Amino acid sequence: MPNNNKELTEFRFSRKKFILNLLKLRPKMKKFRKKAENLLSEIKSPENLVLAPGSKTIIEDLKKICSVPHRRVGTNEAHEIEDYLISRFKELGLKDIKKDPINLINWQANNWKLTISTEKGQIEIPCFYVLNTEFTNSEGISAPLVYVRTGEKRDFKKKDVKGKIVVADIEFPEFPIGKILKLAPPYYVSDPKNSIDKETSIILTFALLNFPPQALGGPPIKDSVYWRAVNNGAVGLILILRDYPSNVNTHWGPYDGSMKPVPALYVGKYDGIELREIAISETAKATMILEGNKEPSIAHNIIGILPGQSNEMIMISSHHDAAFQGASEDGTGVSMVLAQLGAWANTPLEKRPRSLLFILTAGHLYGGIGAEHFAHKYKNSLLNNVLIDVNLEHLCAKEVDEDPITHDFKITDNLAIGATFISQNETLVAHTLKAFKEHDMERMLLIPDNFFATPPIGEAGHFAVMGGLKVIHLIRSPYYLLTAEDTLDKIDMIKLGPTAQCITDLINSLMYLPKEKF
């Protein structure tokens, strides 16, 4: 499915664009903040209380969703969970259920290895494959190493990489939240424990500055270190996750779904220190192996409608695919969608003023192909009735820091910092703010949908651009996203129920909001 606006839906962080955009947003956020606070006193709580399922029910769904080692699109494991989700839709009372197929390539690696040969002998360095890059045979590729720093244009001018294996550092942006909040306060900071201060900062581990995603089926990104290496004749790449907190190497990205012509491997930050020193010497040779296969396959969007008293709809969404166990990415999002279905299916029809559209997309980790397929297919039909999309991702994910001794992830006492992207409408801000205040939502920033000078992160961005939908998009950003460390122990199970109730109350208030207020 072609998408001429694809560049608008892919998140690509730019410091310059972000700061310029933030300065423009600052007076708007101040204005909206005041209006939303004034509207709070006018918002009446719905007479009908709708109860969300408790943590126990949500945990049962979450554990089943995470019972397979991964939910990579087009695989048997993903299909097993798709079938489970359909069965849950049926159990919870949906009748009009669609299993919408999407064609894609199932790329699977089954063997990878990195060996470095120096004058002192051979060493093996722990590594992980770079998604959707070309496979080697069982003997791999052997070639001299050449280090190009972060792969800027000037770095390649100084090095001859033809016929060699390029070693490069991958940059991840540090986001100084405390300083940003002081410079330009957002709509609201929901932080009842006052855990966010002027020194608070996070690494955006989903944003590879010098290896950004490209459009699905679109042209390569010219300033990507990968494509600069390929265009200059490199036969392979070894990419050091230089700015990643911890020594993790199992990074699943960039997850754009685009097949790439030469093999590449990731190396963790601390393993990369030794590799970098060896590569700088320019006397070493590497053998990189990346075996696997790719074949056409199918993934499915899962769609269901719970009728209300009108055809007007509130859409509740997440994505069901995951690179690994995916407890937060996006086991919690899917289980939260099921929780909302459970809450509203147990509510009598006469207490559902609007219908509810539930959508669990495939291929978030394939360039958002599921969300874009859905938006493209239904933009002029089903989505005409949708007033807003409430998108749920990575909820109740615990915060982790890097242990300074082991360099492993260390769980803290907090939830990971999150953001709620809201279409620029003071009424939507007010209703969201009210729900967060009433439920003491932890460490969550309420921000405009274009806060990063891009569409909202996640599925909501695809729905907003391709489907023209207004959004309220809740998402957290723990460091273990997109890695094999995204496991069930990283979820604050106790907070699943209260978080689901907060979302239910927000949706309940939107049920009675006049159409013209959206």
Q: How far apart are CA 429 and CA 187, in angstroms?
A: 7
**pLDDT value for 9:** 62
Mean pLDDT, residues 238-258 taken together: 96
Query: Where is pLDDT greater, at 5 or 82?
Result: 82
As a whole-number percent, the residues of the chain with pLDDT over 90 amount to 90
Range in 47-51, 126-130, 214-218, 507-511 the model is least confident about: 214-218
State the pLDDT confidence band at 248, using cuts at 50, 70 and 90: very high
Pairing of strands 188-190, 444-448: antiparallel
Mean pLDDT, residues 445-452 taken together: 96
**pLDDT value for 173:** 95
- Is 1's pLDDT higher than 50? no
Q: How far apart are CA 422 and CA 447, in angstroms?
A: 6
**pLDDT value for 293:** 97
Q: How far apart are CA 109 and CA 128, in angstroms?
A: 10
Q: Residue 193 in 3-state DSSP? A: coil
Domain ranges of the chain: 27-105+296-517
- Is 23's pLDDT higher than 50? yes
Mean pLDDT, residues 27-37 taken together: 94
**pLDDT value for 398:** 98
Q: Phi and psi (nearest 5°) for 248? A: -60, 145
Span 71-80, pLDDT tens digits: 999 999 999 9
For residue 112, what are the contacts with CB-CB under 8 A and spacing of at least 6? 127, 128, 129, 265, 288, 289, 290, 291
State the pLDDT confidence band at 10, using cuts at 50, 70 and 90: low
Write down the pTM of the prediction: 0.95
Q: Is the peptide bond before 100 cis (omega within 30 degrees of 0)?
A: no
Instruction: Give the class (CATH, top level) of 27-105+296-517.
Output: alpha beta
Span 478-492, pLDDT tens digits: 999 999 999 999 999
Mean pLDDT, residues 398-420 taken together: 97
Mean pLDDT, residues 100-120 taken together: 95
State the pLDDT confidence band at 219, using cuts at 50, 70 and 90: confident
**pLDDT value for 215:** 79
Mean pLDDT, residues 453-481 taken together: 94
**pLDDT value for 4:** 45
Mean pLDDT, residues 83-109 taken together: 95
Span 181-201, pLDDT tens digits: 999 999 999 999 999 999 999
Pairing of strands 444-448, 355-361: unpaired
Mean pLDDT, residues 103-112 taken together: 97
- Is 14's pLDDT higher than 90? no
Mean pLDDT, residues 314-321 taken together: 98
288 touches 130 (CB < 8 A):
no
Q: Residue 196 in 3-state DSSP? A: coil
Tokens of 262: 């030469």
Mean pLDDT, residues 413-440 taken together: 97
**pLDDT value for 366:** 95
**pLDDT value for 12:** 81
- Is 218's pLDDT higher than 70? yes
In whole angstroms, how far apart are CA 100 and each of 83, 145, 359, 470, 471? 12, 46, 10, 23, 22
